[in-house]
Amino acid sequence: MAEGPSSAATDLRLRRNRSVAFVIAFLIFVFDQATKWVVTYPLSLMAQPDRAIKITSFFDLRWVENRGVSLGLLSAGSEMGRWLLVGMTALIASLVAFWLWREKSRDDSTALALILGGAIGNIVDRVRYGYVVDFADLHIGEWRPFLVFNVADAAITIGVLLLLVRALLMRDGKAKKKEV
Considering only CA atoms, which of 107, 92, 99, 124 is closest in space to residue 28? 124
CB contact at 8 A, 63 and 135? yes
Cα–Cα distances (Å) from 52 to 7, 23, 46, 49, 138, in that order, read 55, 33, 8, 6, 12
Q: Report how far residue 51's alpha carbon sits from residue 65's, in angstroms, rounded to the nearest whole number.
A: 11
Q: Are strands 52-54 and 59-66 parallel, antiparallel or unpaired?
A: antiparallel
DSSP 4: P
Q: Which residues are catalytic?
A: 134, 153
Three-state DSSP state, 78:
coil
44: left (phi over 0), alpha (psi -120 to 50) or beta: left
